[in-house]
Amino acid sequence: MNNRLVFSILLLFALSACQIKKHADFIIINAKIYTLDSNFTVAQALAVSDGKIIATGTNEEMQALFKANEEIDAEGKTIVPGFIDAHAHFLRYGEGLQELNLRGTKSWAQIVAHIKAYTDKNKEGWIIGRGWDQNDWDVKNFPNKEVLDSLYPNRPIILTRIDGHAAIANQIALDSAKITIDTKLTGGDVIVENGKLTGLLIDNAVDLVSSKIPKLNNQQKTKSLIDAANNCFAVGLTTVDDCGLDYKDVLLIDSLQKTGDLKMRLYAMLSDAQDNYDFLIKKGKIKTKHLNVRSFKVYGDGALGSRGACLLKPYSDKKDHLGFLLSDENHFKEVAQKIYDNDFQMCTHAIGDSANRTILKIYESVLKGKNDKRWRIEHAQIVNPADFKLFGDNSIIPSVQPTHATSDMYWAANRLGNQRVKSAYAYLELLNQNNWLPLGTDFPVEDINPINTFYAAVSRKDLENYPKNGFQMENALSREQALKGMTIWAAKSNFEEHEKGSLEKGKFADFIILNQDMMTIEDNKIPLTKVLTTYIAGKKVYQK
């Protein structure tokens, strides 16, 4: 057999093989697909089978390689991996949808009006609300309970500040928790003025009252979870890190995911409580396609807005006040060792520079240098310049929320002073420590929409385009960095980078279709980006 004949036969076989197409459930063509692979490749088409990406490439490649049940023409639209919120409060957000929403209120009088409207429809039970921020009011003083006592002497009220670290309660609510002017506690304050309770509670003091609120039953929690998921899908979220859950709530979530009632993927951090440690140590890490439980959320200090953040030097606007840690330092050391010994992940809320230093030093003493434990500092909001290196030296991951910078920028310098504020919200500096940085929203503290996260990260402006030149732009992220922070780096912070966070062969087909290309449009048009369609495991869970 001559060489020419051999070549012809081989060519015939090759051509025949090309006609045998692989099966795909569907392919999408004519798109601009940011795959988020290691080369930040932009593709034109993708193919999906059995809930996973099986290929990306050009239109011609996908059409030649696959016989699909459906071909979808994206008509030039942009596709990115489903957004992953690396820090949120998913269940709490869902519960809040059933409560009084005080976000955006401009005065204490407006809040009282909201309460009156709410009680016209809700005649019984506790009055529970969240979202006020005295920094948004013309008169920026914290509220007092007197008007609540006058209008609702027999109905308990607790209204939580937007950050969750302060609340105002009326007298009957305070009485339910046996709070008096003499009440003292670690990691919290009961505010007294002129020998009287004001109703204002800071950090751990809030829990004294909130623990008296009747618990929701599983039916009510189920509604909360499903409502939260639907709102998340509408803004392109396909995985959410829920920071601080009770193990019983995790079991409910798992059961709803297994029945298909709850389609959201969750990375669940258990709260810092003995029952939760006992549960997970006995059970071991929990990993399904929709649920990952391997970490604990610990609270280091409070929030800057309520002056509960623990600072190295006094607040610039409150003489001799340093804030406070929410637990004794020995507690943090003990739980760090316990979490390390059982190979779990520790994720600690730290806002103030003192809290960050304390937790970083404890992490350092346990981790002892470079590692792959991926222990996280949640927020890492104010860091002393001398302490940034502790993140990189010990592979500690700062998990940050860019909209905190643009929410706090109006008053942060009042709290911190013009010099100290320079090492606050230092996202680029934090990114450079490990060369990756997970991003989140902290909803319901901030708005749920991750597009706002992206915009705040790259422009350092609010939605009114303020300030003109951006807030501390030396710590702005590039668009590529911001998108990675909301996808592949967020997945990595959850030990899930091999199954989600990018659109690559073998990963979950979790992706979203956008109305415009947020990577190339003008800065001021980024907030106009809308999610048109959201897919989880190749199934449409939202369509605009």
Residues 6+ apart with CB under 8 A from 386: none
The residues spanned by each domain of the chain are 18-76, 84-88+216-503, 126-210
Q: Residue 94 pLDDT more than 70?
A: yes
Per CATH, the number for 126-210 is 3.10.310.70
pLDDT of residue 139: 87
Question: How many helices (DSSP H) and strands (DSSP E) are in the chain?
Answer: 19, 24
Mean pLDDT of the residues in the chain: 95
pLDDT of residue 19: 59
Q: For residue range 115-126, list pLDDT tens digits in order.
A: 999 998 888 899
467 band by pLDDT with thresholds 50, 70 and 90: very high
Full-model pTM: 0.90
Q: Residue 10 pLDDT more than 70?
A: no
Q: Tell me which residue of 477, 525, 511 sits closest to 33, measured CA to CA.
A: 511
pLDDT of residue 2: 53
pLDDT of residue 123: 86
Can you point out the beta strands (E) in 230-282? 237-245, 265-271
pLDDT mean over 276-281: 98
Domain 18-76 has CATH 2.60.40.420: no
Continuous segment of H or E residues that includes residue 119: helix 108-121
CATH fold of 84-88+216-503, please? Answer: TIM Barrel (3.20.20)
pLDDT mean over 156-184: 94
Q: Residue 473 pLDDT more than 50?
A: yes
Q: For residue range 328-374, list pLDDT tens digits in order.
A: 999 999 999 999 999 999 999 999 999 999 999 999 999 999 999 99
15 band by pLDDT with thresholds 50, 70 and 90: very low
DSSP reduced 3-state for 74: coil
What does DSSP assign to residue 498?
T
316-348 burial, b for 16+ CB within 10 Å, e for fewer? beeeeebbbbbbeeeebeebbeebbeeebbbbb
pLDDT mean over 252-263: 98
pLDDT mean over 407-435: 97
Q: Residue 61 pLDDT more than 50?
A: yes
Q: Is the dihedral of CA 324, 326, 330, 335 positive or negative?
A: negative
C-alpha distances out from residue 13 to 3, 6, 61, Å: 15, 11, 19
Do 126-210 and 18-76 fall under one CATH topology? no
